[in-house]
Structures are given as C-alpha cells and as structure tokens.
Chains A and B, each alone.
Chain A
Amino acid sequence: MGEYVSSVVAPRAIARPRFGAALLLALPLLGLLLFFVHPLLTVLWRSVTDANGAFTLANYGRLLDDPGLPRAALRSLSIGVATTFTTMAFGLCLAMTLHRSRLRGKFLIRGALLLPMLAPSLVLGLGLVCLLGRNGLVHRLTGIPTDIYGFWGLLIANTLYGLPQVVIIVSAALERTPARHYDAAASMGATPWRQFIDVTLPRLRFALLAAAFLVFTETLTDFGSAVVVGGSYRVLAMEIYSEVVGQLDFAMGATLGVVLLAPALLSVWLGRLAKRRQDSGDASPGRALVPEHHPLRDAVLGTVAAIALLPVVAVVGTVAYVSAVKLWPYDRTLTLANYTGGMPDGYGPVATSLGVSLLAAVVGVVMIFALSAGLRRASPRIARPLQVLASLPAAVPGMVLGLGYVLTFNHGALSGWFYGSAAIVAACSLYHYHAQAFLTMQTGMRQVPDALEDAVASFGGDTRHVLRDAVLPFAMPAAISTFFYLFMRSLVTLSGVIFLVTPGLGLASVAVMRLDENGFLAQAAAYAMCVVVAGALALGAMRLLLHVLKDRRHVA
C-alpha cells in the first residue's frame, strides 16, 4: 500500500468549507491574542515606558547601574551553557544505552527517567538541598560538611530536569536510523566506533541541536531550582522575582523579562531551524536494529547511565523520605504526620492545583483541537502565521508571561473576577505550555487521511460530521496526550504562576517554595510528593487510556 504517490501536490485545504475553518479558528485565535499576545506586548510596552506612560529607554539604562544585574545575566548564561553540556552528554549516553546496547534492565532506566518529568526542577532542587544542603542527609549521616547551594546545585538540578527531554528527542532520531545503514557499514569493514561516528552521529546532528537549544532555554528561564538551590548565586530569574515581589518595581521586572526573552526566542528559533532539517529522515525504517554483542560498550554505557540516574533516584527518594520524617533534619523518626495534618494548609493547595490543572487541560485540549482542525482547512496564507503564533509560547519564559498577566489583568474589564481566580492561573499555565501541546495535536492531526474527510463531505456531512467521524478517531490519541501533557505541566509549574497566586489561592508548587523558604522542609517535601504522586497517577491514566484506545478496534 502507498507506493503510489498521489498526483495531487496542491494544498487540499482550499477544498474545505471556509466558514467551518473560520468558526473553528475564531475562539483559539481570540484566546491566543488575549492571553498570550496581549500580556507579552504589555511586558514589552512596560519596559520602554516610564511611570507616566511616556516612551523611554531609561529602564534598559538602569540595567547597567545595578552591578548585580549584569552579573546575574552572566551567571544565567554560564549555568545555561554548563547545563546544556552536561545534559547533552548524559542524555546522549542514556539514549544510546536504551537503543544501541544489549544491557538488561532498560525498564529501570525508563522508569528513572520518568521521575524528572513528574518532579519539577523545584522538587529536584528541594531533594538536592535535603540530600547535600548544609544540614543535608549526607552531612547528618557522615559529618562531612556539604553545601550544595549555588552553581553546582543549579547545575545538578537543571541537568537532572533536562535529561528525559534530551533522551526523548535523541531516541526518536535513533529509532529513525534504519538497520540497513549499519549493515552496509559493517559489510564494508567499519568497526562499531566508526559506525557510531559515520552512521549514528550524522543522523543525530539536528536532534542534538534541537535538544541542546531546548535545554539551554529551559535552564536560562528556570525559576524553580533557582529559588531553592540558587542561594546567593542569583540568576536572572531570581532578579526578576525580587524586583517584582520584593521591590514592586514592575518596570524593572518587565525590562529584565525582555532581556530574558531575547536569548530564549533566539534559541527556540534556532531549535526550530534544526528540527526542520531533521525531518528529512527515512520514511521506512525497515527491520528493527539489534545491537551486536559488545560487553565493553555495554559496561561503559551502563556505568554512565548509573552515574546519570542514581542522583535522580536519590534526590526524589530523599524528598519522599524527608516527607515522612517528624522534624527535618533534627528528628528523623518516620511518621505520616506530615500527610495527615502536618501540612499547614492541609490538602487545599493540592486540590486547587488539581482543579487549576484540570481546567487548563480541559479548556486547552478543546481550544487546541479546534485550532489544529481549523488549520487543516484554512488557506496557507492564514494557516502559516497562526502556526507560528501557536508555537511562539515555547520561547516565552513562564515568568515573563506571568508578569504580563499581572500587568495586563490587574486592572481593566477582566480584573474583577478573573484576577486572583483559578481561571487566570489556568490560562497562564495553558498558554505557557501551548506550543508543545499544539505540536502534539498537530502530529495527531497529520494522521487523519484527507480522503476520509472528503468522503464525509461527499456523503452529505457538514463540518460537525467531519470532525466527529473522520478527524476525532485519528486525532484521539493526540488529544489524550495533549490533555495529560497540559494537566501534568500545569500541576508542577511554578515560574508562570508565581506572580498570580494570592493568599486565597494557594497552589501546591507555591506551597513547596514558601515552606522551603521558611525552613519547613518536611512539609514542603510532603506537598512535593503529593504533586509527584498526582502526576504519576495522571501518567498512568494516560497510558491506560491510550492502550485501551489502541486495543478497542480489535475487540470485535
């Protein structure tokens, strides 16, 4: 099947009813304009105006007056570059271990890699502090003085956080490399090392670039670990936080936000370029690749995998342990008291976090489904700019978007009920993670056969029938993935929502941060574990649903 290439190369979208496209696109577009473009422009505007609203570049001039700011920028850059290197090195090794070794127990690696996806950088930072902080477990048990705060703490927390993302991107590229390329190289006498250099690496170039830019952006804009393990090593994200929350200097916060936005935008743009090049892979991977017997390679890869993943397990394990001790770090009697009443606000913040995440996921999946379905039938002139707009949030740090929300919505028509509500937090989470969710949905939409949509139309179906009978059955797995992606991200996000929470609206991730700031590490750990467990349950539910969906057609 499919060896014949259809003669129609022209865009098919022209054929579909335009009014359907307009209807589908209207709401998602409005959402993007109102909750993404508008706040972003407000931040930009605020950075170039003075208190009276007149245009000025004085804010940017002030950046240099404070010696702390250039230093913070330099630190952000160095931590970004260093993290990118370590994460790429370990991530490549882990992906190679998963796909090019005969090591047994790969499920352990996959399992350990799930932890950083469930535990945000904030939780990883918290675990690191509990393990290697001045009063950490290691110091308590061995008496060796430890002090993880600063560069090394940030490096470790961010590296652990970035690992699974690098492994996912590199693995996808490794899976696309057909076995026959290795057969050909081997038949010409290439050693395994030469095969790695000549076959594997060239096909990984763009995946590695894309992954590197992703890690760099995330590290640069990360707030969670910066606030917990940064200590006196203050990076840009911390400076924004203290300008806004500490000194209520919104103009300076906005200006710093723009400074942070520039390298993130550049990095995402370069990453997209790299990704576009990478798409020209082999369509048919052919026979599955079975790595050759090579004990030395497996031993080396296994050792590196252990070095990379043991800290992950140790750090998350420490959080679990700390959440179950009586009075960290002085009385380490095991107890469930932290879960049964020790948490200062009870389960309220967890419930709020779950509610906000559910709202973001439900609204998000509907909006993004409508957007993707509408784009299929819109003319390219409209579709292309919309696609860029929908992907743009990837380049906007959560803090910048959150700050934009404060500046935009604390007055005006929406401020009354929206500002300080769960809805504004949900909106911020949704649009912060819009790009990846959109990408997932788009990938699913590409599975929908054009012929099926045309068939429905020719049998007398309207847009509603096309969506229900032709699009949804194929896009369902992507919709499920999108839903849970938004849910899980919203559950753990801190950077975007930090400016939006109010005393009446506690979130679990914010509770972790506040309790950590005040030294209640055990209670912070208990909240963190709630988030991790909720995320794990959601992940399990997603896998179950996708599995059921896959099986359903074969039941009859």
Chain B
Amino acid sequence: MHLRIDDIAKAWSGHTVLDGVSFHAGESDFVCLLGPSGCGKTTLLRIVAGLTAPDRGRIILDGQDITALPARERRMGLVFQSYSLFPDMTVAANVGYPMRLRGESPAAIATHTGEWLERVGLGTLATRFPDQLSGGQQQRVALARALAANPSMLLLDEPLSALDPAIRGQLRGEIRALQRSLGIPTIMVTHDQDEALAMADTIVCMNDGRIEQIGSPRCLYERPRTRFVADFIGHANLLPTGFVRETLPAFLERRPPGPDSTFELCLRPEDLLIDADPRGEGVIEDITFLGNLARAHIAWRGRRVLAELPGRSPLVRGEAVSIDAVRGAWVST
C-alpha cells in the first residue's frame, strides 16, 4: 500500500485550513501529522478518510485516484479521540460491526472478533458494554474494530489524547507494536510532540495549513529547518546571527547565505557545553535538579538560554560559567 497526498487544499467559509499540502506514506510506514491546534492536521486526516472533501488536490492510493471515493468505499480503519463506540452494543458486537456491514457470515465474524480481542488483550471482556470499560480499554476496542475490518490503512485521530498519562504511554507502545506486526500503513494525528517522536517513522510537522517539514523524528529534532519546527519539537535556544557572530563564530561556516534576519541558530539544551569559569560570560540564574539531569537557565550577554547538565553537576545559582556548543542547526525565521 502506498498513499500519495497531492496538493490538497481546503477552506471553511473563506478561512484557509489546508494550503497545498503534499506528502506520501509508503508500505508499513507510521506517519504522524504533528502540529498545534487548528493547523489543519485533523482536516487532512478526514480528507484521507473521505469524511471531508478537499477543495483541490488528489489522494492517490496504490496508483488509484480515490479523491472522489466516498468514505465507506475506501476501507480505511479509523480510531477517534473518544466516544466512537456504539453504546448499545457489546464489545464483541462493536468489533464485529464493520464485518456485519460487509455481510460476512456470523461464524466468521465471531472467530475474527475473538482473535482481534485477544490481540488487543481484551479477550475476557467481549460481553461488556462500552460504559463498563476504562478509557484505555475503550480505545483498545476501537483499535480492534478498526483493524478487524481488514483496512487498507489505519487512521488515528488523536487516539490517546483523552487518556491518563500512564495509560497513554502503555497504549503508545501497544499501538506501535501492533502496527509493526501487521505492516499496515498508518497515519496518526497528534499535537503531542513526545507521542510523535516516540511512535513515528515519519513526522509531518504542520503549521497554519502548510507543511513545515517532513522527516524522521531524529531529523526533525536535530536538523529542524524552520524556527517553528525547532520551537515546536523539543526546546530550542534560538540565537540571532549577530549574536552568534560574536559568541560562537565557528557556526557561521555552515550558515546558509542570506541577510542576518533570515536565519537563526538553534541550539538544543543538551548541545550546550557549560563549565564553571570565573571569567565566563554566563551566569547561572537558576538550576533545577531533576535526578538524572539538571536544567539551568543561564544569563548570557543579555539573553537567557536553557542548558541541560548532568544531574550531578556541581554548579550553583549565581555561578559564572563559560558557554560553548557542539552541535547546532540553522533555521529559517
């Protein structure tokens, strides 16, 4: 299965939600659409699912243009944030629902349903009703229901957002393992960067209806191309060109050409090298001990930067330090 999204645009009553979005997802890829609220990621997922029609552009699945195909003929498995189970049906009936719509035999449905419930670890809860399950269990049922339909793709719309943090972490791993074992191409919408970093093969980072950057989690973290991506994924110390010229001139070599205001240097907190130095230019404003590491805010020539140090760092508040950096990425502003 190979999905290509080609120049998709959508506006709601004059307000542009998607502005010419293109990317593709290969066989067994786990793609995360990541971005803040209102960036258009959910609309894009709904367009892929066939629940919303785009104003422009095409959706191509395995070489076939499915843009005009209604949702019910696309065979995509959908999992929503919450509240998408039938309240009047048991867990088993919920999972068997797509198969019943397709007119499969009751025996086949029962076998399949049992298998899928075992797979998501809910074999014993088949006769329960949704309101007797926890949020995490409900999402497992929703996942089993989406997959039991033998879909061509799995589409997840913030499936973990409504859950407690502990369950969220656990289900994150389960979804990823299940997706790997099935090898099913998957698109997940999330606004949670940790979730995207932990789960995705590819992250499509979106802002204001446009794609800011596409790449592996590591690529987006280490080599963000824009200020937005640098800021949205992880913490970024963004330093203007002029400041870098005076403090870390070595980085100028790799700076793309352009006026000073067009690029900034992004330094991740763990990329800063901080050493106690009475003649250093930085002063520790405060330092927070977090166990394995310590997080320090440092005043540096009128700026304030965040650095991550080993937890055992002896530095204290008010101490003067020297600052250097090992890695950094230039991002367009």
Chain A: residues with CB nearer than 8 A to chain B? 1-11, 14-15, 17, 449, 451-452, 454-455, 457-462, 465, 469-470, 473-474, 552-554, 556
Contact = CB atoms under 8 A, between A and B. Distances in A.
Interface stretch (B60-68, B96-104, B263-271, B324-332): B96-104
Contacts of A462: 72
B255 to A, nearest CB: 35
Interface in B182-205: 191
Contacts of A554: 129, 131-132
A14 B53 contact: yes
Interface of A is mostly: loop
Contact of B84 (A15, A451, A552): A451
B50 A458 contact: yes
B101 A460 contact: yes
B241 interface: no
Contact of B86 (A4, A11, A454, A469): A469
A4 B81 contact: yes
Contacts of A10: 12-13, 15, 17, 43
Contacts of A14: 12, 52-53
B41 interface: yes
A469 B85 CA distance: 10
Given A458-B74, A458-B76, A458-B78, A7 B42 contact: yes
A3 B135 CA distance: 13
22 contacts: A2-B162, A4-B81, A4-B158, A8-B46, A10-B15, A14-B52, A14-B53, A15-B51, A452-B83, A454-B46, A455-B145, A457-B51, A458-B49, A458-B74, A459-B97, A459-B145, A460-B72, A460-B73, A460-B98, A461-B72, A469-B86, A554-B132
Nearest to A11: B12
Given A7-B42, A451-B83, A553-B87, A460 B78 contact: no
B112 to A, nearest CB: 14
A449 B84 contact: yes
Interface in B113-141: 127-129, 131-132, 135
B247 interface: no
Nearest to A462: B72
Interface of B is mostly: loop
A14 B55 CA distance: 12
B75 interface: yes
A356 to B, nearest CB: 33
Given A6-B81, A9-B38, A460-B75, 4 more contacts: A6-B158, A452-B83, A553-B87, A556-B127
- The 6 closest A-B CB pairs, nearest first, are A451-B80, A10-B12, A459-B98, A451-B84, A7-B37, A449-B83
Contacts of B101: 459-461, 465
Nearest to B40: A7
A1 B82 contact: yes
A457 B162 CA distance: 23
A470 B87 CA distance: 9
B72 A455 contact: no
B149 interface: yes
B129 A1 contact: no
Contacts of A9: 38
Contact of B78 (A11, A15, A455, A470): A455
Contact of B97 (A15, A469, A556): A469
A41 B38 CA distance: 46
B131 A553 contact: yes
A7 B41 contact: yes
A8 B72 contact: no
Contacts of A449: 83-84
A460 B90 contact: no
B88 interface: yes
B191 A556 contact: no
B41 A553 contact: no
Contact of A473 (B15, B39, B88): B88
Contacts of A8: 42-43, 46
Contacts of A460: 72-73, 75, 98, 101-102, 149
Given A7-B37, A7-B191, A10-B17, A470 B86 contact: yes
B66 to A, nearest CB: 13
B299 interface: no
Given A6-B42, A460-B73, A455 B80 contact: yes
